[in-house]
Amino acid sequence: MAGERRAVVAMDPATGETLWTFREAPTKRWAQSMRKNYGKGVAYTEVDGRGRVIVVTPGFSMHALDAESGVPVEGFGRHGTVDLLEDLGYPFHPTEGLPNDVGYITSSSPPLVVGNVIIVGNSHEQGYLQTRMENVPGHVLAYDATTGEFLWKFNVIPQAGEFGNDTWENDSSSYTGNVSVWAPLTADLERGIVCIGTDPGTNDYYCGHRLGQNLFSTSIVALDAATGERLWHYQLVHHDIWNYDIPTSPNLIDITVNGEEIPAIVVTTKQSWAFVFNRVTGEPVWPIEERAVPESVIPGEKAWPTQPFPTRPAAYEMQGLTQDDMIDFTPELRAKAIAFAENYNYGPLYLPPIHRGALGKRAGMHCPGGNGGTNIPGGAAVDPVTNILYVVSLKTCSTPNLVPGAEVDAGEAQPIGTTGMNYVGDGFVDTNFAIDGLPLFKPPYSRITAIDLNTGEHLWWIPNGVTPDRIKNHSALRDLDVGNTGNAAHGNKLVTRTLLMYGAGRGAESVFYAVDKQTGEQLGAVDIPAPSNSSPMTYMHEGRQYIVMPICSGNFPGSLVALALP
């Protein structure tokens, strides 16, 4: 897929020559999508022996295309198209979409085909931009892969009479939106189980209008793909006020723990946890403890008193912030870092955001931030031969500045919903945390970690990429050996039978690396035209293996590069 209209392009696998293209006609509902440049993926299935490509567009429509010609499939929906808004259950206009006072919904990941069922996720306006309480929830929809007939809907925010509705206080389930299923879905095809990951309800950093635990926000939920029945769920963050949504598709792997074979699912998170469950029963493979976390100081907000902490595997990136985590290349830099951090309320994992002027600080700082830890550009991969998980992570913090909602709402041209929130985020006080142009934190600034899922033990980690020139050549570090700091980027990984390969990610160096899967030792590197931008893929064609990855820079604004083995 390519471009903001998510054009579907079929290419010759050996030459990249265009074979056919499909592009949805422009509409107002497409133009207003805030996720037009995201979610570029398709699903593939076969019906009566003929290939079929399924795509969901930013306007929240679904198309079935003949894989050989790109022509919409007659007999699927209306001339190859299903309008997903029809089955969401809210009033809408065919070209303009949902009225602003009702809500807003779009798509940022491809659908998934399980048997003869197409399951569709969704996304919304980014939660940190929302100023009003109401929106439509991100209910999951399912369709017949042959005809496009609507099959079922799963309510991600339980409505009156449904399990979990009592976790939304003061009838907040009736107006709260989001709980999007925005990242790619995962399915156990043999068992007919589809697993979805969700985000918080409206909005990301203040939830005083929706007190309670808030099922099924920031949760992993296993559904029967044929019926939409909930099989099990686990909420990874209760009453999420950190933008800690599930950022990437879970990984399926069959593992052996203490001699017991377990069909597992692994959920990697922005907090830098790897939650491991039995994907059939939902039971944690290793104990997960509910531990007390700090209270909120924002008027009207009630942070949930505990959060889940996995006992194994250990966290794979910095959690919370202490002085020990701050830069110490020189005493002068360290002193500046400590002084800088004192402007913020910082501390352990799950430290809540604060409002403007609270505690005499500029803002609250929670680490990892909303960009991870782990996030969708990097994510994780598992090796089914060795049962090793390879996960990419970034060292970050967030400092959302919460202010009275009316101030921000007054500046919004077309806000979604009708009732303003008491507090909303007014941007971030700082995002790069620079100390004389150097990161606040000790390196590595991002890493790749290998975890043995049979034992839950970390095997090794390596910095993602190499030390950037701006750090290597910094005047304060001229006489120091700072080692390999890695790049502050989400690396893009691919695991095969013989290698772990990765690009360092957007904003990093234009290099594609190969490392030993067992040790992390670098075995080779290949220059590419621009930094990698998303996960690579590999395929065989006429006896030759190819690796294709998206790249992105000023000279290559959204391109593909193909590598091949002789």
- Using the predicted structure, report yes or no on whether residue 2 has a pLDDT greater than 70: no
Beta bridge partners of 403: 424
Q: How many helices (H) and strands (E) does the chain have?
A: 5, 36
DSSP code for 475: G
Average pLDDT over residues 422-441: 84
- Which strands sit side by side in the sheet containing 251-257, from one edge to the other? 251-257, 260-268, 274-278
Range of weakest confidence among 22-26, 222-226, 270-274, 427-431: 427-431
* Total residue length of the chain: 566
Beta strands in 198-349, from DSSP E residues, in sequence order: 219-224, 230-235, 251-257, 260-268, 274-278, 288-292, 306-310, 344-345
> What pLDDT is stored for residue 401 in this prediction?
87
| Angle (CA) 312 314 318, round 5° | 155
- Using the predicted structure, report yes or no on whether residue 429 has a pLDDT greater than 70: no
In the block, tokens 């004192």 appear at 342
- Residue among 144, 24, 150 at smallest CA distance from 85: 150
Range of weakest confidence among 25-29, 47-51, 109-113, 278-282: 25-29
- Using the predicted structure, report yes or no on whether residue 213 has a pLDDT greater than 80: yes
Q: Is 442 in contact with 328 (CB distance < 8 Å)?
A: yes
CA atoms within 13 A on the CB side of 143: 29
- Using the predicted structure, report yes or no on whether residue 201 has a pLDDT greater than 80: yes
In the block, tokens 């918080």 appear at 200
How far apart, in whole angstroms, are the C-alpha atoms of residue 221 and residue 187? 11
Q: What is the pLDDT of residues 46-69, one digit of tens each?
A: 999 999 999 999 999 999 999 999
> What pLDDT is stored for residue 384 in this prediction?
95
Task: Tell whether pTM > 0.85.
Answer: yes
> What pLDDT is stored for residue 284 in this prediction?
98
- Using the predicted structure, report yes or no on whether residue 545 has a pLDDT greater than 80: yes
Confidence of residue 430 (pLDDT cuts 50, 70, 90): low
- Using the predicted structure, report yes or no on whether residue 5 has a pLDDT greater than 80: no
Q: What is the pLDDT of residues 275-328, one digit of tens each?
A: 999 999 999 999 999 999 999 999 999 999 999 999 999 999 999 999 999 999
How far apart, in whole angstroms, are the C-alpha atoms of residue 277 and residue 486? 31
> What pLDDT is stored for residue 1 in this prediction?
61
Q: What is the pLDDT of residues 318-367, one digit of tens each?
A: 999 999 999 999 999 999 999 999 999 999 999 999 999 899 999 999 99
> What pLDDT is stored for residue 214 in this prediction?
98
Higher per-residue confidence, 142 vs 426: 142
* Percent of the residues in the chain that have a pLDDT greater than 70, as a whole number: 99
First-to-final CA distance of the chain? 27
Question: Torsion angle, CA of 441/447/452/455, rounded to 10 degrees?
Answer: 0
Q: Is 275 in contact with 310 (CB distance < 8 Å)?
A: yes
> What pLDDT is stored for residue 555 in this prediction?
77
How far apart, in whole angstroms, are the C-alpha atoms of residue 530 and residue 37? 18
Q: What is the pLDDT of residues 550-563, one digit of tens each?
A: 998 777 777 899 99
Hey, what are 249's tokens?
């598709």
Average pLDDT over residues 20-34: 91
- Using the predicted structure, report yes or no on whether residue 27 has a pLDDT greater than 70: yes
What is the chain's mean pLDDT, rounded? 95
- Using the predicted structure, report yes or no on whether residue 108 has a pLDDT greater than 80: yes
> What pLDDT is stored for residue 6 in this prediction?
80
Q: What is the pLDDT of residues 477-529, one digit of tens each?
A: 988 999 999 999 999 999 999 999 999 999 999 999 999 999 999 999 999 99
Q: What is the pLDDT of residues 176-199, one digit of tens each?
A: 999 999 999 999 999 999 999 999
How far apart, in whole angstroms, are the C-alpha atoms of residue 247 and residue 373? 10
Q: Is 195 in contact with 279 (CB distance < 8 Å)?
A: yes
Which pairing describes strands 344-345 and 363-364: parallel, antiparallel, or unpaired? parallel
Beta strands in 117-259, from DSSP E residues, in sequence order: 117-120, 140-144, 150-154, 186-188, 193-197, 219-224, 230-235, 251-257
